[in-house]
C-alpha cells in the first residue's frame, strides 16, 4: 500500500514533541519531552531556557523516534513543524531544524498552525469526528470556540477577553501554592473538596460566546485573603474546597458556552482540544449535558490534548500540498486561526 510518512516537530512552548504519522498506520512512533522541571522554579515558562532546551533535545529525540518506528530519515516523505503561534525563539528552533533536514533530504517542509493542529488532534482517535463541528480550544494561551466547517474553514465564535482557561487554572493553582502548570494538581486537589463550598462568579455565563476568567481568579484570591484574615489557617480541606469551587465555576462556564455555540450554529458535534481538555470534570459534564441535547462530544486522549508532535504531523499531512517551495523558516508568534484557508485540492484528489 502506498504510504506517506510525515515527521511532525512541535516546539512552540515548553514541550518538545516529535512523531511520525502516516494516514494508514496512524501514529507510527512518537516522543515527548516536557520542560516542566526546568521552568517549575520560575512559576512559568522562561522563553530563553525553553529555546535552549529544545535545541538540546530535538535531534536525539528525532533519532529515537525514527529508530522506534524502524525508519531512516530517507523513509520520510515530508517534515512538518509548528510555525506559530508560540514563543518566537522556540518556534525558530523547530523551524530551523525541520527546514535544514528537509533541504538536506530533498523533501518538502510544511509549516503548521499550532491551534489548527490542536483542533484536528481528535482525528487521530479511532472514532474521528467528521466536519462540521464546534471546537473548544482551551490551552494555556488560548480559549477559543470555533465553528469548523472543513479543513481551513474556521470562524471564531468566541474567545477569552482576558485570561485563557489554562492560565486561570495556573494562576489559581499558584494562589493555592501548587506547582506549575497548575491544571493537573488543582484538579487533583479538587477531588477532595466540595464544589459548592464557595459560590464563585461565573463571568458572562448568560451573555454571548466570549469568555472572561480574570474576575473568577480575583474572587478566589479575595476568598483566600478573607480566610487568612479571619485567622483561619488554610487547612487542606479549605484549599480543596477552594480548588473544587473554582473548578466548578470554570467548567460550568466552558460547558454553557459550548452548548450555546452548538445551539447558535445548529451543529450537534463538539470537539474538545488543548491542555484544559484533559480536565476530567470538563469531560464528564460535557458528555452528560451534551448527551442530553443529542450532541456528540469528541475528545482526544489526554496525551493528545496537551502539546505533542503527532498533531503537527497529522496537520502537516493534511496540508502536504502547501509545502514551502523555497525553504524559508516561518515563525509567527501571533497568527490568528481564522487567517487559514482550505488547502489546495490536487488534480489527483479531484479525479
Residues near ligand KG4, by CB under 6 A:
13, 139-141, 166, 169-170, 181-184, 187, 274-276, 278-279, 306-307
Answer with the entry of Zn ion, ligand KG4, none that 182 interacts with (C-beta below 5 to 8 A by kind): ligand KG4
Q: Does 14 bind Zn ion (CB under 5 A)?
A: no
**Least distance from C-beta 250 to Zn ion, angstroms?**
18
Number of chain positions touching Zn ion (CB under 5 A): 2
- From the list 97-105, 125-133, 177-185, 302-310, the region that binds Zn ion by CB under 5 A is 302-310
**Least distance from C-beta 77 to Zn ion, angstroms?**
25
b/e per residue, 291-305, with b = 16+ CB within 10 A? Answer: eeeebebbbbeeebb
Closest to Zn ion by CB, 15 or 22: 15
Closest to ligand KG4 by CB, 46 or 323: 46
Which of 16, 51, 82, 139 contacts Zn ion by CB under 5 A?
139
- Cβ-proximal residues to 148 (8 Å cutoff; 6+ apart), any chain: 119, 131, 132, 133, 134, 135, 154, 271
Closest to Zn ion by CB, 5 or 171: 171
Residue 36, C-alpha cell as written in the block:
516542566
Closest to Zn ion by CB, 241 or 307: 307
Q: Does 167 bind Zn ion (CB under 5 A)?
A: no
**Least distance from C-beta 157 to ligand KG4, angstroms?**
19
| 8-state DSSP, 339 | G
The rounded distance, in Å, linking the Cα atoms of 109 and 112 is: 10
The rounded distance, in Å, linking the Cα atoms of 148 and 151 is: 8
Helices assigned H by DSSP within 196-351: 214-229, 236-265, 280-292, 302-305, 309-318, 347-350
Closest to ligand KG4 by CB, 31 or 182: 182
Q: Does 307 bind Zn ion (CB under 5 A)?
A: yes
**DSSP secondary structure letters along 251-282:** HHHHHHHHHHHHHHHT--EEEEESGGGG-HHH
**Least distance from C-beta 182 to ligand KG4, angstroms?**
5
**Least distance from C-beta 305 to Zn ion, angstroms?**
9
**Least distance from C-beta 63 to Zn ion, angstroms?**
24
**Least distance from C-beta 231 to ligand KG4, angstroms?**
31
**Least distance from C-beta 347 to ligand KG4, angstroms?**
36
Q: If you search the block for the grid coordinates 504519522, which residue do you land on?
A: 21
User: How many other CB atoms are found less than 10 A from the CB of residue 12?
Assistant: 29
Closest to Zn ion by CB, 14 or 252: 14
Answer with the entry of ligand KG4, Zn ion, none that 69 interacts with (C-beta below 5 to 8 A by kind): none
b/e per residue, 159-193, with b = 16+ CB within 10 A? Answer: bbebbbbbbbbbbbbbbbebebbbbbbbbebbeeb
Q: Does 35 bind Zn ion (CB under 5 A)?
A: no
Residue 108, C-alpha cell as written in the block:
518538502
Which strands make up the sheet holding 26-34, listed edge to edge?
26-34, 15-22, 6-10, 78-84, 109-113
Closest to ligand KG4 by CB, 84 or 108: 84
Q: Is 167 helix (H, G, I), strand (E, B) or coil?
A: helix
Q: What angle do CA 246, 247, 252 make, to 5 degrees?
A: 105
Residue 224, C-alpha cell as written in the block:
483566600
Closest to Zn ion by CB, 142 or 239: 142
What residues make contact with Zn ion under the rule CB under 5 A?
139, 307
Amino acid at each position: 500500500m502506498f504510504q506517506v510518512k510525515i515527521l511532525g516537530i512541535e516546539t512552540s512552548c515548553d514541550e518538545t514533541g516529535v512523531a511520525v504519522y502516516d494516514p494508514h498506520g496512524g501514529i507510527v512512533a512518537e516522543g515527548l519531552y516536557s520542560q516542566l522541571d526546568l521552568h517549575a522554579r520560575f512559576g512559568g515558562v522562561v522563553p530563553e531556557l525553553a529555546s535552549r532546551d529544545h535545541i538540546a533535545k530535538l535531534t536525539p529525540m528525532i533519532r529515537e523516534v525514527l529508530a522506534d518506528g524502524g525508519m531512516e530519515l530517507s523513509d520520510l516523505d515530508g517534515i512538518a513543524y509548528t510555525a506559530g503561534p508560540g514563543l518566537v525563539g522556540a518556534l525558530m528552533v523547530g523551524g530551523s531544524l525541520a527546514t535544514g533536514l528537509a533541504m538536506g533530504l530533498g523533501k518538502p517542509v510544511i509549516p503548521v498552525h499550532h491551534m489548527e493542529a490542536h483542533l484536528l488532534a481528535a482525528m487521530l482517535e479511532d472514532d474521528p469526528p467528521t466536519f462540521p463541528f464546534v471546537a473548544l480550544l482551551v490551552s494555556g494561551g488560548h480559549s477559543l470556540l470555533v465553528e469548523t466547517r472543513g479543513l481551513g474553514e474556521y470562524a471564531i465564535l468566541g474567545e477569552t477577553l482576558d485570561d485563557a482557561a489554562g492560565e486561570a487554572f495556573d494562576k489559581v493553582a499558584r494562589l493555592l501554592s501548587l506547582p506549575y502548570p497548575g491544571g493537573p494538581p488543582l484538579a487533583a486537589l479538587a477531588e477532595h473538596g466540595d464544589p459548592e463550598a464557595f459560590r464563585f462568579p461565573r463571568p458572562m455565563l448568560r451573555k454571548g460566546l466570549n469568555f472572561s476568567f480574570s474576575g473568577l481568579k480575583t474572587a478566589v484570591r479575595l476568598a483566600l485573603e478573607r480566610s487568612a484574615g479571619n485567622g483561619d489557617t488554610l487547612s487542606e480541606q479549605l484549599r480543596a474546597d477552594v480548588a473544587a469551587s473554582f473548578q466548578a465555576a470554570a467548567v460550568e462556564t466552558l460547558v454553557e458556552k459550548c452548548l450555546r455555540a452548538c445551539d447558535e450554529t445548529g451543529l450537534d458535534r463538539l470537539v474538545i482540544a488543548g491542555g484544559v481538555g484533559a480536565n476530567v470534570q470538563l469531560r464528564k459534564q460535557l458528555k452528560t449535558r451534551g448527551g442530553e441535547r443529542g450532541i456528540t462530544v469528541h475528545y482526544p486522549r489526554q496525551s493528545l490534548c496537551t502539546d505533542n508532535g503527532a498533531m503537527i504531523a497529522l496537520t502537516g499531512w493534511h496540508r502536504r500540498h502547501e509545502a514551502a517551495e523555497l525553504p524559508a523558516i516561518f515563525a509567527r508568534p501571533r497568527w490568528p486561526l481564522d487567517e487559514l484557508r482550505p488547502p489546495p485540492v490536487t488534480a489527483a484528489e479531484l479525479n
